[in-house]
Structure formats: C-alpha cells, structure tokens
Amino acid sequence: MPTPSVTPFSGDVLIVTAEVVGGNLEVTAMIPRVSEGDGTCTLELVGTDRTLSVTGTEGKDVTYCGVMSIPLDAPSSTPQFRVRYESPSTRAESAVSTVEPAP
C-alpha cells in the first residue's frame, strides 16, 4: 500500500497575535477549517536561521498554534516572520508579517 503523500500547501495560517515582549518576538496563530492535533506550528524569523516549533492544538473547525517566542538580536528592530503548519494531511503558511516594537 503506497504511503499518502503530503498535500501541497492547502491552507492559510492566520496570525492571531504578534508582539515584542522583553526582547522576544511572541506570536500565536490559527489554521481555519483544519481541526487536528497532530501537526506542528513553526515560527520562522525571516532572514535568520531561527525557528521555533510547537504542537498544534485541535479546536472546533480550527487548529491553534500556542505562544511561540524567539529572542531578537535587536529588540528595537522591526522583525519579519512567518508561521508554517505541517501535519500528515495539511501544509499551510502565513504571509511574511512584521511587528512594530513597543515604544
């Protein structure tokens, strides 16, 4: 029996919150219309090799990505980031986003 292949990008990751707190970029996200608990959410700091992954949490017609926190080299900068989600049946990605540091 052939193994099912991972589908091409089949969804969107929506950024719920994104803020710089204590020199860390903290992001939460969700994948609408996908409800599963076996996927991985990965926060990527664009332009660096820094990533952080958490396990997605199944909700009602949604998968949640809990708080992902990556330390910033320059907390006063405007970091660019994206969130990817991957499971045995779903791959999704957010647009590249930025967050303004708090004044």
- Domain segments of the chain as ranges: 11-95
14 in Cβ contact with 64 (< 8 Å): no
| Helix/strand/coil for 81 | strand
For residue range 61-99, list pLDDT tens digits in order: 999 999 999 998 876 678 899 999 999 989 999 999 998
Burial class (CB in 10 A: 0-12, 13-18, 19+), 31: buried
Confidence of residue 103 (pLDDT cuts 50, 70, 90): low
Write down the pTM of the prediction: 0.86
Instruction: Place domain 11-95 in its CATH homologous superfamily.
Output: Carbohydrate binding type-21 domain (2.60.40.2440)
For residue range 6-65, list pLDDT tens digits in order: 555 567 999 999 998 888 999 999 999 999 999 999 999 998 899 999 999 999 999 999
Confidence of residue 101 (pLDDT cuts 50, 70, 90): low
**pLDDT number for residue 102:** 63
